[in-house]
């Protein structure tokens, strides 16, 4: 692997066993064609290591209940959060694969975080792994407030506020929102979530109509 020293600088860790790092950056398409190990086993281990590090940090720094902690942890280890961290490190050019990168997909790129973390853990232990996560933290994704965005969109155009109609059902809530002669619908387990989905749909329609008028 070329320029491995540059890759290590981006990761923030110098490997004793360079083979571990090479394995962490090897996709199955490359290994199937050229031989050697792919990074799937490292990804599996890295997932568990990351879960532990995040959970331990949560336990030590917050008194939130188990349900809240679980939801927050899921946000921090989801594909989107890992992909952002990988892009921030700038390590994807070192991924060894065959074929089109589009065929590899975002899941493969995001999993580099877990495979590299596992490689760091195996090479340097838990202290090195925790340092890696601290150096390259994964961030919680704040939910988009579509109701607020819809309200701002309408106000900026001098239009009347949206009107919501909600109906409770056995499996959750149905929500309908009307504004500017258009309608959006949403269904979710809570009324709040259903209204957010309805606002998201209506906002999308209003923005599409705006583009069509240009």
Per-residue pLDDT tens digits for 36-61: 999 999 999 999 999 999 999 999 99
Residue 207: pLDDT band with limits 50, 70, 90: confident
Q: What integer best gives the mean pLDDT of the chain?
A: 91
Note the pLDDT tens digit of each residue in 72-89. 899 899 998 999 999 999
The answer to whether residue 101 scores a pLDDT higher than 80 is no
47 is catalytic: yes
Residue 31 has pLDDT above 90, yes or no: yes
Q: What band does 148 get if pLDDT is binned at 50, 70 and 90?
A: very high
Out of 111, 135, 159, a domain closes at 135
Q: Does pLDDT of 213 surpass 60? A: no
pLDDT at position 62: 87
Domain count across the chain: 2
> 26 in a domain, yes or no?
yes
The pLDDT value given to residue 142: 64
Query: Is 118 in the same domain as 45?
Result: yes
Exactly one of 23, 43, 47, 123 is catalytic; name it. Answer: 47
Whether residue 68 is found in the same domain as residue 172: no
Non-local (6+) Cβ contacts of 165 within 8 A are 175, 176, 177, 178
Task: Determine the pLDDT at residue 63.
Answer: 86
Query: To the nearest whole percent, how much of the chain has pLDDT over 70?
Result: 95
Interatomic CA distance for residues 130 and 47, integer angstroms: 13
pLDDT reading at 120 higher than 60: yes
3-state SS, 82-149, equals HHHHHHHHCCHHHCECCCCHHHHHHHHHHHHHHHHHHHHHHHHHHHHHHHHHHHCCCCCCCCCCHHHH
| Nearest partner of 113 among 140, 85, 88, 139, judged by Cα | 85
- Strand, helix or coil at 177? strand
Compute the distance between CA of residue 173 and CA of residue 20 in angstroms, rounded to an integer.
50
Q: How large is the greatest C-alpha to C-alpha distance in the chain, in angstroms?
A: 65
| 168 catalytically annotated | no
Q: What is the DSSP letter of 26?
A: B
Same domain assignment for residues 97 and 184:
no
The residue from 101, 135, 169 where one domain ends is 135
Model pLDDT for residues 172-193, shown as the tens digit of each residue: 899 999 999 999 999 988 888 8
Where does a domain end: 106, 135, 164? 135
Give the CATH number for residue 164: 3.30.160.20
What residues contact residue 210 under an 8 Å CB cut-off, 6+ apart?
none
Domain, as residue range, for 197: 146-213
| Catalytic-role residue among 23, 38, 43, 114 | 114
């Amino acid at each position: 692997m070329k320029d491995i020293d540059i890759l290590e600088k981006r990761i923030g860790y110098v490997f004793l066993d360079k083979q571990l790092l090479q394995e962490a950056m090897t996709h199955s398409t490359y290994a199937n064609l050229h031989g050697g190990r792919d990074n799937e086993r490292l990804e599996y281990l890295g997932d568990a290591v990351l879960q532990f590090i995040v959970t331990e940090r949560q336990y030590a720094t917050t008194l939130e209940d188990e349900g809240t902690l679980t939801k927050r942890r899921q946000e921090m280890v989801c594909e989107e959060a890992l992909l952002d961290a990988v892009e921030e490190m700038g390590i994807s050019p070192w991924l060894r694969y065959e074929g089109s990168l589009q065929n590899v997909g975002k899941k493969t790129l995001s999993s580099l975080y877990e495979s590299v973390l596992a490689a760091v853990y195996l090479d340097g232990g838990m202290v090195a792994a925790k340092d890696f996560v601290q150096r390259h933290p994964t961030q919680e994704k704040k939910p988009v407030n579509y109701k607020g965005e819809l309200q701002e969109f309408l106000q900026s155009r001098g239009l009347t506020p949206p009107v919501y109609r909600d109906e409770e059902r056995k499996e959750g809530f149905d929500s309908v929102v009307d504004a500017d002669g258009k309608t959006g619908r949403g269904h979710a387990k809570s009324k709040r979530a259903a209204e957010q989905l309805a606002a998201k749909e209506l906002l999308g329609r209003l923005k599409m109509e705006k583009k069509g008028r240009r």
